[in-house]
Structure 1
Amino acid sequence: MSSNTPTAALSEAGVSIWLDDLSRQRIVSGGLERLIAERDVVGVTTNPTIFAGALANGAAYAEQLHALSAAGADVDTAVFEITTDDVRDAAEHFRPVYDRTGGYDGRVSIEVAPGLAHDTAATIEQAKELWAKVDRPNVMIKIPATLAGLDAITETIAAGISVNVTLIFSLDRYREVIDAYLTGLERAKASGIDLSTIHSVASFFVSRVDTEIDKRLVAIGTDEALGLKSKAGVANARLAYELYEQVFADERATALLDDGANRQRPLWASTGVKDPSLSDTLYVTELVAPGVVNTMPEKTLEATFDHGEIVGDTVTGAYADAGAVLDALARVGVDYDDVTALLEREGVEKFIVSWNELLDTVRGALEAAA
């Protein structure tokens, strides 16, 4: 671990730094180990866009693609084998962190195919397949927080599988995600599963909220509207943390915690700044709170390491101001529910596009190898 650096200070403030990227080249080159040792990285998240980029630009997969082609693997099988191999290898690299933290960190996430986002049964089936295939205790299976995903989260947690819930945009949906997690824990307990072995994070997206709301504020064009630009994402996330504190202090949750269960930690996702006029560490420095995860693209990670100003908790004392931001947005005519519903739909659609690009890349490589 580094010392006397902004990433070390962030870790000391209770934020777990996870890298939002993975590729075979990063693993075999030693780059992943460097980030663990020098940037305080204690986990990794992946998604279809990340894997599509890795396969499109990576010669490191050529040997495996030739072997899969020779074995007659179809494209779905090839993608399943390649991505689970990468996640398994990354999990091995993070196993010392996992052991040292008692399973709190050292996590690597892999997502169910995005085309299953509205199919509960298929999501559950693939989550179990991914869990069994990677076969490492520090893997997390990513399930989107769609309506269909809620029951899948419960079923997967009930089976003793650790879950990273992704694509959360609204506070109402976040409350439903926590409920799905607690219900899954209750069912796991009834089945005799050791609750301490089940971990979960809830991935609350940040910058995408600002991107959509800022577009609407510019269209409204009043001074009051323009004065609210780039405030919604942080405010929304801070209120999510308030909700997390409230729910995990209530009687239902504390009973499970007393039985050895773990809190479902908030995870800040989409933390790369999209607006170049903003600080490139905005979604890091303004969202520091105990027990959260911040999953960063490498650019954001390096910016944080270089010049991030970590001053301690910037969340728990800001709930009133955060609520005032959302109230002001409603006052100028921004429909919060419409924004978050749109972002959920677009999030699934964008991952489906990336997944199809991944399939096309692998299909072409298999055909070339043949």
Structure 2
Amino acid sequence: MSNANTQALSDAGVSIWLDDLSRERLTSGSLETLIKESNVVGVTTNPSIFHAALSDGRSYAAQVSELAAAGMDAQEAVFKITSDDVAAACDLFAPIHAASNGADGRVSIEVDPRLARKTAETIAEAKVLADLVNRENVLIKIPATVEGLEAIAETLAAGISVNVTLIFSLERYRAVINAFLTGLEGAKANGHDISKLHSVASFFVSRVDTEVDAQLDAIGTDAALALRGKAGLANARLAYQVYEESFTSERWKLLAAAGASAQRPLWASTGVKDPNLPDTLYVTELCAPNTVNTMPEKTLNATADHAEITGDAVSGTYEQSNAVLDELAAQGVSYNEVVAKLETEGLEKFATAWTELLTDLDASLKKAGNN
């Protein structure tokens, strides 16, 4: 029996994806339970999530021993371990993938974040990961850096579905949509069935509020403090406006006529960081048709427990959302500086997690090899 709140969210056109994956979650049946009871229809991962998962050595001890015996180094081993988890999750979601005509039942795996500024290397690794997982319902995550835009287009053109991650600005989001359309056009020209290609654009939310609110607190005026907790929603809602406008163009209609599905907005970073804000804020207030909300389990549980889903909370908010950004600018908060800082910090965070993951796994491989 599905939870009433998560069912209401699904009925409103929001696909619920879990922002977490681990071997234990797969083997314990935890993920299967969330599918059955909480309307979870997909999974996203990132280097921080896999670092946390592999920190629990018990679930991976046997495989680490096997990989050590096979002489794999840490880089080879991390690809093997994570791609095995993603493939298993893809198999679990296969019925949802089929029932949704490929839109849902998706599991994401990210290219090495240290390649985020390297176009050719990102494209090459995206193809390697797609081959390793070898499931139609995998999404390869590529950061939306300037250098990543060409990689996104080329990966799609190669017939590989993509989750574009770390989007913070409206300008970059427009460039991501252009890369998506370019990629579909390339895939069509290359003879791929573009009806099989799917993509989401992961627009980050809570990190915007964390950065902006810190600046508002430093300003400290009543007018500044009155804007706390508003920037993330305003930014995301205006992204939805960009989505609505972009997928009505003649360019898009040609692709749609050939069987393409629109790239859906995905709300990422939806765990509320400020305890003074409602813990379901980025769920209830970003409810809109044809979106994905990827939630950490804490946010998913809060949604199931007490979220009030009242339908579309985004359409018709664009004037108000623009006013919020204008008011922030009037307070001296630079939108461009905020989004640039968040992209840099996001890349650094994931690169650090990846490096720590490799370091820990290298130590585990050496220990297993000495036993």
Confirm or deny a common fold (TM above 0.5): yes
Q: Which residues of 2 match residues 100-179 of structure 1 at below 5 A?
A: 100-179=99-178
Structure 1 position 57, deviation (Å): 1.9
Structure 1 position 227, deviation (Å): 0.5
Residue 290 of structure 1: SS of its match in structure 2?
coil
Q: Scaled by the length of structure 1, what TM-score is found? A: 0.99
CA distance in 1, matches of 2:137, 2:210: 33
Percent identity between the two aligned chains: 63
- 2:232 counterpart of 1:233: yes
Structure 1 position 58, deviation (Å): 3.9
Partner of 1:91: 90
Partner of 2:2: 2
CA distance in 2, matches of 1:59, 1:366: 14
CA distance in 2, matches of 1:191, 1:68: 37
- 2:352 counterpart of 1:353: yes
Q: Which residues of 2 match residues 71-86 of structure 1 at below 5 A?
A: 71-86=70-85
CA distance in 2, matches of 1:324, 1:140: 35
Q: Which residues of 2 match residues 294-333 of structure 1 at below 5 A?
A: 294-333=293-332
What whole-Å deviation, never above 9, does each CA across 1:249-293 have from its counterpart, x for those lacking one? 111111111111110000000000000111100000000000000
Q: Which residues of 2 match residues 327-346 of structure 1 at below 5 A?
A: 327-346=326-345
Q: Which residues of 2 match residues 180-329 of structure 1 at below 5 A?
A: 180-329=179-328
Structure 1 position 59, deviation (Å): 0.8
Q: Which residues of 2 match residues 4-83 of structure 1 at below 5 A?
A: 5-83=4-82
CA distance in 1, matches of 2:353, 2:25: 20
Residue 165 of structure 2: SS of its match in structure 1?
strand
What whole-Å deviation, never above 9, does each CA across 1:19-43 have from its counterpart, x for those lacking one? 0000000000000100000010000
Q: For the aligned residues, what is the CA RMSD?
A: 0.7
For 1:212, the aligned partner's letter is E
CA distance in 2, matches of 1:31, 1:113: 27
CA distance in 2, matches of 1:344, 1:32: 30
CA distance in 2, matches of 1:92, 1:86: 10
Structure 1 position 139, deviation (Å): 0.2
Residue 33 of structure 1: SS of its match in structure 2?
helix
For 1:311, the aligned partner's letter is T
CA distance in 2, matches of 1:188, 1:365: 41
CA distance in 2, matches of 1:190, 1:85: 32
Partner of 1:366: 365
Any conservation in 2 of the 1:25–1:58 contact (CA below 8 Å)? no
What whole-Å deviation, never above 9, does each CA across 1:50-97 have from its counterpart, x for those lacking one? 000000024110000000011111110110100000000000000010
CA distance in 1, matches of 2:272, 2:309: 17
Structure 1 position 356, deviation (Å): 1.0
Runs of 4+ in 1 over 2 A off after TM superposition: none
Residue 16 of structure 2: SS of its match in structure 1?
strand
CA distance in 2, matches of 1:223, 1:140: 44
Residue 202 of structure 1: SS of its match in structure 2?
strand
Unaligned runs of 5+ in 1: none
CA distance in 1, matches of 2:314, 2:332: 26
For 2:316, the aligned partner's letter is G
Structure 1 position 328, deviation (Å): 0.6
Q: Scaled by the length of structure 2, what TM-score is found? A: 0.99
CA distance in 1, matches of 2:67, 2:103: 35
Residue 277 of structure 2: SS of its match in structure 1?
coil
CA distance in 2, matches of 1:163, 1:224: 41
For 2:348, the aligned partner's letter is E
